[in-house]
Amino acid sequence: MPATHVALLRGINVGGQNKLPMKDLTAMFAAAGCSGVASYIQSGNVIFTASKSLAGKVPAAVSAAIEKQFGFQTRVVLRTAEQMRRVAGGNPFLAEGVDEKLLSVMFLANSPEQEHVGKLDPLRGHPDSFRLLGDEIYLHTPTGLADTKLTNAYFDSKLKTTCTFRNWRTVLKLVELMEA
C-alpha cells in the first residue's frame, strides 16, 4: 500500500554550496519510481508517495543520482506522514511554553545505540538545549542557530549516525503538505 513520505536531504543549497535545483531533485525521485513528487523550499524537502519497499530504496537511489549528476554526496533521511505527525505532536519544549521561532528538529538517519547516547553532553551549548526522543533531537536555541554548538557535526560524531535539521515552521509545513 503506497504511503506519503518526506525525504529530508542534508546540506544542499546551503551557503552557496552543493547547489541542486528542486526541479532536478524532484525528477530524480520520479525516476526512482515515486509518485506525487513535490518539493518544499530550496533546502531539500521532497514529499512523495511510494510503497514501503520502494521507499526503502529511494535514499540510496537519489543519493547516487545526485553524486552522478552534480558531483557531491548527500544523505537522505526519510519519514512517513505518520512519523512526521508524531514529531509535530511530541516536541517537549512546547509544553514548557518556549517560543516556536526558537525550535528546530534534527532528524536522525537511524536510531542511535544507547552507548552513543550516553556520550552526549546535556550542557553543551548552554543556554541552547536539546532532547533526544526516538530518532529525533528537539532543539531549543534561544540565541539562534547561527552560533549554537548543537550542530550536525556534534551529533553525528557522538551518535554515529547522520542527522539533518529543520526549523519548527518547516516541520509544521511539511506535516500540513503531507496531509493535503
Least confident of 3-7, 14-18, 99-103, 175-179: 14-18
148 has a pLDDT exceeding 90: yes
CA dihedral for 8, 12, 15, 19, sign (positive or negative): negative
Quote the cell numbers at residue 38.
Answer: 513535490
Count other Cβ atoms within 10 Å, centred on residue 35: 11
Q: How confident is the model at residue 65 (pLDDT cuts 50, 70, 90)?
A: very high
- CATH class of residue range 85-179: alpha beta
Q: Which three cell numbers stand for residue 126?
A: 548552554
Could you tell me the pLDDT band of residue 56, with boundaries at 50, 70 and 90?
Answer: very high
pLDDT of residue 94: 96
With the C-alpha atoms ordered 23, 24, 27, 28, is the resulting torsion angle positive or negative?
Answer: negative
- Confidence grade of residue 75 (pLDDT, cut at 50, 70, 90): very high
Residues of the chain with CATH 3.30.70.1280: 3-74
3-74 has CATH 3.30.70.1280 classification: yes
* All three cell numbers of 46: 521532497
Q: How far apart are CA 13 and CA 44, in angstroms?
A: 8
SS3 123: coil
